Structure 1
C-alpha cells in the first residue's frame, strides 16, 4: 500500500472501528458524492500513449456499430467533408487521436440527437477553467487543420505556450497561495499530461526543439510527488467524522474538505472517530493511483523518442457503404 496508516490496525483496541463500520462510512461518502478524485483519467492516459491508435480505432468502430445504415452514410460524409478526404495525417497519434475521438462523438451524437457531455468535465474534473478553455479550444480546432501541417503547428504552438503559463500559475497558487484542493490538483495533473503531449506533437511537427519535451516531463515528474505530499497534509487537516447522537437523534457528519461533506447514520463509538478519519485518509490517497501516475510519467520519458516518431495516420473505413 502506497500510503500507510499511522500506527492504526483495525481491531487492535476498543477504539478501532470494525471493517463493517469503515465499509459503511465509505459507502455513505460515495453515496453523498464527496469522495475526491484527483487521479490521472484512464481514458486520457490511453490516448496519450503509444496505444493511441488502438484506442481511436476501437472507439471509431464502436461508434459505427451504433449507427444505422443511413446514419453511417451521413456520418462518413461529415467526416470526409471535415477532413478533406478519407485520410487524416498523424490521426492515430497522441493529442490528435484524442481530438478525433471527441470529434467522432460530437458528429455521431448530433446524428442520433443525443447530447455530448463536456469532455473537460470528464478529463479535468471541472467544466469551467482557463486550462480547460485552452485545451478545449485546441481539441476543437484539430479536426479542421489535421491535413494542414502549418495550421496544425500554429495551433499546437499557441496551446503549448498558453498551457505552460496557466499550469505554472496553478502550481504556484496551490503551493504558495493556499489554493491546493482536489479540484485544482486534478486540473493540474490531467492538464499537465495533455500539455506534455501537446509539446511532443510540436516536436513531431518540427516547431519546437526535441529536448524541450524531456525538460517539461522532468518538471512535472518532480512536481507531482511534492503536490501529493501537500495534498495528503491538506486532507489530514480537514477530514473530520462524528457519529450519530443517540440522545439528540442528530445524524453523524463526515467532512472530507471544505464544501465536501455529508450526513450519515453509521453508528459507532465516538472514540473511533479518529481512527475512522485516518483510515479515510489512507483510502482516499490509495484510490488516486499515485504509483501508476508516477510510472506513467517515468515511462513517458523512456518512450519519448518512440512517441516523437509515432506517426500513424487515420483512415476512414466507411462500413456499411
Structure 2
C-alpha cells in the first residue's frame, strides 16, 4: 500500500474483502463505510500511501466486525508488524497503529490531516531520540531481531508520512530533508546457538559444497570473527540496503501522487441509501 501502485493494490484488496462476505455482511460492511465517508464515498488521497494503508486496515477491521469477530481498537494492528512472542513492541509500532486507526475519520478534512501528520511525525522523531537514550540492557532488548525489524518498519512508515505531508502541503521533493546529524547506530549481532559449534558445522558444510561456493567464502570471509556471524551481518546489510532503496525509490513520483479513492465505484454492495 506504500508503493507507487498503492491505488491498484487498494482496489484489489477492497474487492477481495467484499468478496469474502455474504450478502447480509456485505450490506453491513457498505453501510459502515457510508456512515464514515458519506454518500459520495470518496476519500481524499485515499489511493496513495499512508491513507491507502489506513483504508486497507479499515476494510479488514469492518469485515471482521460484520462477521461477528472481536476486533481490538488499540495496540499493534495485526499483520502489519512482526509478532513478538514476548509481547514487546517498540513505541513506533503503537504510534503507526494509532495513526492508521485515526485517518479514516479525518481523511476528508485537510486541516486535520495536516495537523495530525505533523504531530505524528514529531512523535516518530521523539521515539528515535528515546532509543538513543536507552540503558544498555534496554538497548540490547531492542536490538534483538523482532523488535529491531519493527523499529525499521516504523521508520519506513515515518518516511512515507513525511511524503504524505508534502502532498497535503502541495510541496516538492526538495522539502523532504533527511537528517544527517546523527551518528550511525552500531549493531551487535548475537546468534541463538553455540556459535563455536555452529560455525564448525557451517564451515564443514561449505567444504562439501561446490567449488564456486567454496571460492566465494574464501574470498569474502575474514578470520577476525566466525564465518556464520559474518554471513548474518551480510544478510542484515543486504536487507537494509534493499529497504533503503525501497524508501528512496521514486520519492518524487510518490509526492506527485494525489489520487482520491472512490469507494462507491468499487463497491460490490449497494452504496446509495
TM-score, normalized by the shorter chain, greater than 0.5: yes
1:111-130 map, 5 Å: 111-116=66-71, 118-119=76-77, 122-123=80-81, 125-126=83-84, 128-130=89-91
Structure 2, gaps ≥5 residues long: 203-225
1:1-321 map, 5 Å: 47-84=1-38, 85-116=40-71, 118-119=76-77, 122-123=80-81, 125-126=83-84, 128-171=89-132, 173=134, 178-179=139-140, 180-206=143-169, 210-216=173-179, 227=185, 230-231=186-187, 233-235=188-190, 239-241=192-194, 272-276=197-201, 281=229, 284=232, 290-291=237-238, 293-316=240-263, 317-321=266-270
Whether the 8 Å contact between 1:125 and 1:186 is mirrored in structure 2 is no
Tell me by how many angstroms 1:197 deviates: 0.7
Tell me by how many angstroms 1:234 deviates: 2.5
* Alpha-carbon distance in structure 2 between the residues aligned to 1:215 and 1:176: 29
* Alpha-carbon distance in structure 2 between the residues aligned to 1:188 and 1:133: 11
Give 1:25's aligned residue: none
Whether the 8 Å contact between 1:52 and 1:97 is mirrored in structure 2 is yes
CA 1:68–1:240 in structure 2 vs 1: closer, same or farther (change >3 Å)?
A: closer
Tell me by how many angstroms 1:164 deviates: 1.0
Task: Decide which moves more: 88-97 or 203-212.
Answer: 203-212
CA 1:298–1:319 in structure 2 vs 1: closer, same or farther (change >3 Å)?
A: same
* Alpha-carbon distance in structure 2 between the residues aligned to 1:104 and 1:59: 8
How many residues matched?
Answer: 236
Structure 1, gaps ≥5 residues long: 1-46, 242-254, 256-270
Tell me by how many angstroms 1:283 deviates: 6.3
Tell me by how many angstroms 1:215 deviates: 1.6
TM-score (norm 2): 0.73
* Alpha-carbon distance in structure 2 between the residues aligned to 1:299 and 1:279: 29
TM-score (norm 1): 0.63
Q: Please, what is the CA RMSD of the aligned residues?
A: 3.2
CA 1:240–1:318 in structure 2 vs 1: closer, same or farther (change >3 Å)?
A: closer
Task: Decide which moves more: 205-214 or 177-186.
Answer: 205-214
CA 1:53–1:169 in structure 2 vs 1: closer, same or farther (change >3 Å)?
A: same
* Alpha-carbon distance in structure 2 between the residues aligned to 1:208 and 1:171: 31
Whether the 8 Å contact between 2:10 and 2:47 is mirrored in structure 1 is yes
* Residues 81-113 of structure 1: CA deviation (Å, up to 9, x unaligned): 111231111001111111111111110000012
